[in-house]
Chains A and B, each alone.
Chain A
Amino acid sequence: MKVAVIAFPGSNCDDDVVQAVSDVLGCSVTKVWHRNRLDTEPDLIILPGGFSYGDYLRSGAMAARSPIMDDVRREVRRGRLVLGICNGFQVLTESGLLPGALLTNRHPGFLCRPCTVRVERTDSPFTGTFREGQVVNFPIAHNEGRYYLPPSDLEKLEKDGRVLFRYCNDRGETGDDFNPNGALNHIAGILSEEGNVLGLMPHPERSSDILLGCDDGILFWKSIQTWVERR
């Protein structure tokens, strides 16, 4: 499996993703600078977390208009997997590859802590090795993570089963008390219509080494690998 991690100026989880994915899967992970082209035909493209372009203007707005995003769009059309984590999720919504927007947290301010999310379905390319309804710990670290979509579109998103992860407590129950940022419907991660693009606010790469506290992310990476290899 080939993985490409795109680094924008201001990305700061690019090295982390490279490290976690290559440690867990032992596969080749290439970092691609945003000014270069994406020509390695990767099976998985990751837009990492951080503060691309300083998060100035709107989080992800300027990275979304970077030329390399044309390459990402091309790969999406070809059915390759694209994963946006945190700032990467913001880039995906800003670029129109995923619907909605990520607004300033309900209680404004950066929030970094362990976070439990529920796996909503297991037939996606990203969640095949989880149990449905499984609760996993993926830490969060963001100030703009409140997922927003106008009501009618949100209804459709839900109906299409495109919500893949939802904030919950450690028993898998959702509720405002377990929603760290005020996201609509407790949404932590969503899929594109075709199912090959995932935007995720929490950081699975921070959950990939037990020495650092938790390793639920290992299943996440293995899911992707399994899906890619089965194709």
Chain B
Amino acid sequence: MDYAKAGLRREEFEAIRSALKREPTDCELLVMGVMWSEHCCYKSSKPLLRLFPTSGDSVVQGPGENAGVVAIGDGWGAAFKVESHNHPSAVSPYQGAATGVGGIIRDILAMGARPTASMDGLCFGDAQEPKTRRLARGIVAGIGGYGNAVGVPTVGGKTLYDKAYNDNPLVNAFSLGIVRLDRMASASTARPGQKVLLLGAATGRDGIAGAAFASAELGDDAKASRPQVQIGDPFEEKLLIEACLELHEAGLIVSMQDMGAAGITSSSSEIAAKSGVAIDLDLDAVPLREGDMEAWEILLSESQERMLLIVLPEKVDAVLSQATRWGLECAVIGDVREGDEWTARKDGTIVAALPATLIGEGCPELAWPAREPDDLESRWDFGPEEMDLPCDWAAETKALLASSDLTGKNWIHESYDSMVRLATVEGPGGPVSVIRVRENGRLLSMAMETDPRKTFLDPYRGGAETVARAIRALAVSGATPLGLTDCLNYPSPEKADQFWELAESVRGMADCCRELACPVVSGNVSLYNETSRHRILPTPLVVAVGLIDDPSELLRWGRWAKGDRLFLVGTVASSLSGSEYQQHRLGVLRGRPLAISFEMEQEFVDKARSTAHLQLARSGRPIAGGGLAVALAKETHQSGTGALVHMAVPTRPDVLLFGEGGPRALYAVPAQKLEAFRKNWASFPLTEIGIVGGEALHIRGLCSLTLAEISQSLGR
């Protein structure tokens, strides 16, 4: 077989041949083609990922396992990760999104953690396109259909619309679970003499070579590749979760692995490599849905709802009987022994025998050339003076509130069960999502952010801004960041200017993570998000997870009360470059976003946190998409009361109202806290901008919007 047919490059083929000192078999070539695809081995992005800081006081498990784990106090930990399911969702929106949710939940489960909360980052094409509506409906239905049934609440997320995603929507699924730190599962604990078991659904031809599929550009007729999409069964997954947690709790399993991309191969070879053992698989023992499957199909099948277990021989019977109790299939499919080889047998003959470390870690890294885009300077060529000031500020603000990115997403949020498991303190629709950890009484605050427009305009600044946004949101809610997970969604790295965008934005993210002490503990890379017509914007998405020690230290939003004073914290002169307003009003993407000042950011998060902890404000909202005006409108809407905003306008009013970027927040402060609030923010830019009360949001000299008008624009 030709190595190129298996998806391998010449140098990769040579690396395999020299490691084996023989010609690889066809089955081995197919296995390696998938395992060395971009999706599985990150060969293009590995050097960049090394830029991320990965250690910190709270980090228990950094990148490299199924999910990262941070300590959340009292011997408990939070395991979390975000992962893309972009290509499958493009070709089969419902199933693609559903299996994305299922896969990330199993990643959390594989750490021995109880999956407790999910979030989803969605980037859709132009909202006016019928195709976008169809894709969006299918993807949202898939996330709900799976997540609701499996009993893991979807507590938040992020949705944005841009024509750059017309052919290539993005679906990034995040999940978080709670685990006792002394009972964490790991891939490195297998020892010779133990047994390899497969628990869950029978193996079929689903998603064969899906991992390779996710690493190539989508064909213009995405439908043609449909047979590769997996089908999800949340009912089976629910049983699998309960069974695995029960087995783990009872000490019946040594290790477990999710079977995601490249199924049996990746899960078993990863355990072998990390544990420093050999694994022999007997493919005849694998329960199959179709009898006539080839060895390579069994090895690479991405059938859903399966887990690989490593079990002590004397405990195999107990595991099998527990599985029966849950109504799950379970089979012994292999042995762990001394050595470093990963072998698979079928019909009594060896079909693949490869060094385990070669499979997961041996792929030669790719160093794509990076070149600053020729049009970078012209991307920056923008001044607000190009934009006329609106003659009707109220109409402009309402239109912005009603724009696809900013308007209410109730149709999405309410289609997800956000409350099951009785942990949801703040569900979807707010700047952060907050859950209560029943095990220790503390709260976890989670902020999902992405800012692809600013990242496109200035990848370094945009990448840093993305991370900063998430950390600011945590801080305003009162949370201390523990760690962050990232999903890097980009077009092909093989074009030098696109690779430069990737590299620069990762550098910006990494610097921000380091400066603000928020280590990266897990993540995922999705490249080749482009078709011959379109490339996506560089879309790094992050979820930062923070801890709030006591519920009294949580500062909520949308809680204005009459008489509260309103404060803008942070600069009054941010930027319209890459803002929602610029996009909405001009439909262009130009200008240079603000540079980031880490000193300012650090000071902001410290002061925001003390504001929350000392209960110096009644309501607090970080200012992000749509700027101050949108923050004011959302607070008005949610609080059910208006405000009189009177402030000097030192800059253009549109920059003041709609500008974005930098550490900023809007606070409502009750009279008796004014002094302490001002003192807390001394030395930081602070502007008193108004007072809460009345039936309208009245911004003196510019506009007045009634509560009803705001609700209507926001979709309810």
Contact = CB atoms under 8 A, between A and B. Distances in A.
B233 to A, nearest CB: 7
A209 B425 CA distance: 10
A49 B236 CA distance: 17
A12 B420 contact: yes
Interface stretch (A94-102, A105-113, A144-152, A181-189): A105-113
B416 A110 contact: yes
A132 interface: no
B326 interface: yes
B421 A54 contact: no
Contact of A19 (B148, B325, B414, B422): B422
A121 B420 CA distance: 28
Contact of B417 (A56, A141, A209, A212): A141
Contacts of A15: 421
A20 interface: yes
B414 A51 contact: no
A110 B144 contact: yes
B149 interface: yes
Given A13-B420, A51-B148, A54-B149, A211 B415 contact: no
Interface in B94-138: none
A51 B149 contact: yes
B234 A16 contact: no
Contact of A55 (B149, B415, B417, B425): B149
B415 to A, nearest CB: 5
Given A19-B438, A110-B148, A110-B417, A212 B235 contact: no
Nearest to A209: B422
A139 B326 CA distance: 30
B544 interface: no
B244 to A, nearest CB: 15
A12 B146 CA distance: 13
A175 interface: no
Interface string A13-57: 101100110000000000000010000000000000111011110
Interface in B78-101: none
Nearest to B153: A112
A16 B145 CA distance: 20
B603 to A, nearest CB: 31
A56 B425 CA distance: 31
B238 A12 contact: yes
A110 B415 CA distance: 5
Contacts of B425: 211-213
A9 interface: yes
B712 to A, nearest CB: 16
B326 A9 contact: yes
Contacts of B436: 211-212
Contacts of B415: 109-112
B418 interface: yes
B621 to A, nearest CB: 19
B75 interface: no
Contacts of B234: 51, 54
B390 interface: no
B295 interface: no
Nearest to A49: B420
Nearest to B411: A109
Contacts of B235: 9-10, 51, 53-56
A205 interface: yes
Contacts of B422: 16, 19-20, 205-206, 208-209, 212
Interface in A124-148: 139, 141
Contacts of B419: 112, 139, 141, 203, 206, 212
B151 interface: yes
**Secondary structure type dominating chain A contacts:** mixed
B150 interface: yes
Contacts of B416: 110, 112
Nearest to A35: B325
Range class of the B interface residue count: 20 to 34
Contacts of B149: 10, 12, 51, 54-55
Given A110-B416, A112-B419, A212 B144 contact: no
B551 to A, nearest CB: 6
B327 interface: yes
B550 to A, nearest CB: 11
A142 B327 CA distance: 25
A113 B327 CA distance: 33
Nearest to A112: B417
B288 interface: no
B424 interface: yes
A209 B438 CA distance: 12
B239 interface: yes
Nearest to A52: B235
Interface in B233-261: 233-236, 238-239
A9 B327 contact: yes
Contacts of B423: 212
Nearest to A53: B235
A180 B549 CA distance: 37
Nearest to A111: B414
Interface string A52-71: 01111000000000000000
Contacts of B421: 15-16
B233 A54 contact: yes
A79 to B, nearest CB: 30
B232 to A, nearest CB: 11
A12 B151 contact: yes
A1 B419 CA distance: 27
A109 B436 CA distance: 28
Contacts of A19: 422, 438
A113 B414 contact: yes
Contact of A112 (B238, B327, B418): B418
A16 B144 CA distance: 19
A216 to B, nearest CB: 14
Contacts of A206: 419, 422
Contacts of B418: 112
B168 to A, nearest CB: 26
Nearest to B327: A9
Nearest to B428: A112
A113 B423 CA distance: 15
Nearest to B438: A19
Contacts of A20: 422
Contacts of A13: 151, 420
A177 B67 CA distance: 44
A227 B436 CA distance: 32
B414 A112 contact: yes
Nearest to A54: B235
The CB with the most chain A CB atoms within 10 A, among B145, B416, B421, is that of B421
Interface string B244-284: 00000000000000000000000000000000000000000
A113 B239 CA distance: 26
A73 to B, nearest CB: 24
Nearest to B426: A213
A22 B326 CA distance: 26
A212 B233 CA distance: 30
A133 B423 CA distance: 30
Nearest to A23: B422
B420 A16 contact: yes
B238 A10 contact: yes
Contacts of A208: 422
A51 B438 contact: no
B239 A141 contact: no
Contacts of A51: 148-149, 151, 234-235, 238
Given A13-B151, A51-B235, A212-B419, 4 more contacts: A16-B421, A19-B438, A51-B149, A112-B148
7 contacts: A10-B238, A12-B238, A51-B238, A54-B235, A111-B414, A206-B419, A211-B551
The 10 A-B pairs with the shortest beta carbon distances in the complex, nearest first, are A12-B151, A54-B235, A51-B149, A16-B422, A141-B417, A112-B417, A113-B414, A206-B419, A110-B415, A10-B235
